[in-house]
Amino acid sequence: MEKSFTMHDLPQSERPRERLHKHGAEALSTAELLALLMGRGTKGEPVMLTAQKLLARFGNLQNIASASIEELSEVNGIGPAKACQIKAALELARRMDAPDYRKGTPVKSPEEAVESIRSTLRGKKKEHFYLLCLDTRNRVTNIDQISVGNLDSSIVHPREVFKTAISCLASSVIFVHNHPSGDLEPSSEDINLTKRLSEAGELVGIPVLDHIIVCDKDFTSLKSRNLI
């Protein structure tokens, strides 16, 4: 019976675990770190080759993190179990990078609103729309995901948005969503949706303070552009 390849099939000096122990994790390549995470290869394929194929398929860690379990499992040598290991490890890394958000964090600027949620939106392939509920002192009381997908009236409806805001006893709200394309320019849909939500907020007595569009490295505030 043909055996599975493991790290022990590599020369000892080239085994990622030994190299990490001797030189530290920062000395290892991304492929070596992935190989360490997966642990062992499959019949006829060493784990380092599987790690290299994974990187070749997705290009970088950001794309690997954004890939689904099913997409990761399409790489030969990576089944659902290894795909889950990879997703879990990259999610832990994302949480390390996340700000220490706690209820009661004050929001005094668009920058502070973005910092409360930027790591959650980083690397997303679809548009995610979030609601930040604030109290009378502009402190964040809740952050809720409202929708996933291209923004339109059928996905983000004022009724659902303000149902959530009312249940949170929000005094005001801020909306944040991402543009996976990297284009910070508000679309006509973004502007029209913001207008509808602002009008709904006036009717229920919960003002919309801002609607912020976020990309991986920058953001734009519709309030600062006089679009609210």
Alpha carbon distance 149, 174 (integer Å):
19
Handedness of CA 76, 82, 87, 90 (dihedral sign): negative
Mean pLDDT taken over the chain: 83
Confidence of residue 150 (pLDDT cuts 50, 70, 90): low
Biggest alpha carbon–alpha carbon distance for the chain? 72
Confidence of residue 29 (pLDDT cuts 50, 70, 90): confident
Confidence of residue 105 (pLDDT cuts 50, 70, 90): confident
Confidence of residue 200 (pLDDT cuts 50, 70, 90): very high
Alpha carbon separation from 112 to 9, 16, 115, 117 (Å, rounded): 50, 40, 5, 9
Domains and CATH numbers, the chain: 4-97 (1.10.150.20), 110-221 (3.40.140.10)
Q: Residue 212 is encoded by which pair of tokens?
A: 């912020």
Averaged pLDDT, 177-196:
90
CA–chain centroid gap for 41, Å, is 29
Q: Is 36 helix (H, G, I), strand (E, B) or coil?
A: helix
Per-residue pLDDT tens over the stretch 41-67: 777 678 888 889 999 999 888 888 888
Confidence of residue 106 (pLDDT cuts 50, 70, 90): confident
Confirm if 110 and 210 have CB atoms less than 8 A apart. Answer: yes
- Is 10 a residue whose pLDDT tops 60? no
Averaged pLDDT, 74-100:
81
Per-residue pLDDT tens over the stretch 202-212: 999 999 999 99
CA–chain centroid gap for 225, Å, is 26
Averaged pLDDT, 12-28:
76
- Is 155 a residue whose pLDDT tops 60? yes
Confidence of residue 192 (pLDDT cuts 50, 70, 90): very high
Alpha carbon separation from 39 to 101, 116, 119, 148, 194 (Å, rounded): 34, 35, 28, 34, 48
Instruction: Report pTM.
Output: 0.61
